[in-house]
Structure 1
Amino acid sequence: MAVTVGFEDFPALYRSADGNSIKGQRRHLLVTRFRLGALVTAAAFGVVALRAGGTDVAAVVASVAFGAALVSDVYMLRERPDRQWYAGRAVAESTKTLTWRYMVGGSPLGITDLDEEQAADLLLARFTEIESDVEPILLIPDHGSPEQVTEGMRRVRALPLEQRRELYLRSRIRNQQEWYGTKARWNERRATQWSVLLAVLELLGLTAGVLKAGGLIDIDLPGLVAALAAAGVAWVQTKQHQNLATAYAMAHHELATIGARIRHARTEEEWAGFVAGSEDAISREHTLWRASHS
């Protein structure tokens, strides 16, 4: 029966950082959507005349929308969910690559270089270095095991080289490669869709501008379309679809090449170097991701 590694087999540090990063991402994107929606709403009600009795309802709604956008800005500045997202992801990925090196015997945690306890001590020392670089609030623990070196990790490390190699190929390289491929295709589709949508908005803005210049419309429709286009551009910059599609595609193909060479590592020493190179390739993609979001 094939050996498997589940989420609960990873260190508490990884699970905590991963969970907090996901929470930060969700909050950041949710508040960004809310803010952009509020600004578009303010622009929409700013170009119409809507009165009830002696009250300019449109102006009231626009003011409320601007106030909502301001509140979201204050929240972003105070809570910094983007920092929770990025820093949490950095900790999670750094912890994950060290965990895989420990489990399968990758350098500097090779099987022939260190015995189990020496490797565990070095792993924990590296975890401590990672923890010291982030705020404790980003590492709120989950409800799983508090262990940093789990029984599942030790069990994998004790396996023969052939089984560790098969597990690493299936659960690390192929799994990561599939994830990159799926995300590359998804982001490419989104990039195309947003490009088309923004082009349509620009065409509408041009048409509205011509109509207003010709005196055929009285409302500031070009201003509204401009607000919609600006919100779209801001969202595209937040999501970075095209940059991510390119980075994920490159990582996908690089891992395909790495996977094809896995059988060349026949000894523990060769295997330790192979795993180190593979993990470095995965880490490079994450470095590019962080740079695109900084």
Structure 2
Amino acid sequence: MYHAAGDFSDKSQQRYFRLIILEYALLIVASFVSANAYEDRTYYAGSALIFLITMMVAATRNWLKPEQDWYKGRALAESIKTSSWRYAMRSAPFGNENDEAETREEFQQHLRLILDANRSIGDKIPADRAAEDQITSRMGEIRASDWMERLKFYREHRVNEQLRWYTKRAEENKNRSTLWVGTAIIIYLFAIAASLMRIAHLEIGIIPVDTFILAASTIVGWTQIKKFNELASSYTLTAHEIGLTFGPLRQVKNEEQLAKFVLEAEQAFSREHTQWVARQSFQ
């Protein structure tokens, strides 16, 4: 179920950005075509057709709202993931050691409640993984191991993995922000050069200054949609917060302390993701 929700979220994200890119590309093409001075009806008909296609792409994006499926699918996947970690680590609310069958049923019921809360996208998620066991054999093995083994596993495959992920993503977003800002500056320089050329050579009828300006504005809009700087800052802060958990992690000395640590860590991970969804929803 986690993989199905994650795949659905990833595909929705790709669909959203592809529609955005297509819309921007069509606007740039339309701007270039409009800058030409050909007195031909076929030419003007082609220009109108480009604007019509652009309008249809924008309407399709507004109708499908793939960004909402992206956010909701990711929220569903992360809810399932954190619940699975709590179950495998015997953390609340799945810490019952006396009746594993009862705890297993409680976990499955918990997953059903999560699905019920996400009915708005339930019919969109492919059912090809529906027959898979939601409690894998590996989850059962981890849950059955002693607390020291679970502590070691959680540190490496959850805490360290999250730390690596956020550190990597922070660096990627920082680099992408620099790249796109640099690209926008280069395009602005082209726009300046084109403007000066128009001043020096008024006889030249086709100098796409407006196209360069629109292209630069498109890049600015793209960086705002992707939120490179904001995400780089947020991911860096989260990475530091995860790093601070290593102190309490080293102080875990028994089963109860491990369960408490996992509960607090998963709450922190969930809180960060909830804030991410909120930031995306208000873009």
Tell me the TM-score normalised to structure 2 length.
0.89
Partner of 1:93: 78
Aligned-pair identity in percent equals 28
Tell whether the 8 Å contact from 1:262 to 1:274 is kept in structure 2 after alignment: yes
Partner of 2:177: 191
Partner of 1:39: 27
Partner of 1:28: 16
AA partner of residue 92 (structure 2): S
2:238, 2:131 → 1: CA distance?
A: 32
Across the aligned residues of Structure 1 and Structure 2, the Cα RMSD in angstroms comes to 2.2
Tell whether the 8 Å contact from 2:4 to 2:129 is kept in structure 1 after alignment: no
AA partner of residue 94 (structure 1): S
Partner of 1:250: 237
1:178, 1:63 → 2: CA distance?
A: 49
Residue of structure 2 aligned with 1:224, choices 211, 226, 248: 211
AA partner of residue 101 (structure 1): R
Measured after TM superposition, the shift of residue 211 of structure 1 is: 5.2
Partner of 1:4: none
1:257, 1:115 → 2: CA distance?
A: 35
Runs ≥4 in structure 1, deviation > 6 angstroms? none
Tell me the TM-score normalised to structure 1 length.
0.86
Partner of 1:6: none
Partner of 1:180: 166
Partner of 2:108: 124
Tell whether the 8 Å contact from 1:49 to 1:56 is kept in structure 2 after alignment: no
AA partner of residue 176 (structure 1): Q
Q: Which ranges of structure 1 fall in alignment gaps of 5 or more residues?
A: 1-12
Residue of structure 2 aligned with 1:239, choices 222, 226, 230: 226
- Is 1:76 equivalent to 2:68 in the alignment? no
How many residue pairs are counted as aligned between the two chains?
Answer: 278
Of 171-180 and 204-213, the range deviating more from structure 2: 204-213
SS of aligned partner of 2:94: coil
Residue of structure 2 aligned with 1:60, choices 16, 39, 45: 45
Partner of 1:15: 3
Q: Quickly say closer, same or farther: Cα 1:225–1:122, change in 2 above 3 A.
A: same
Q: Quickly say closer, same or farther: Cα 1:63–1:138, change in 2 above 3 A.
A: same
1:208, 1:288 → 2: CA distance?
A: 44
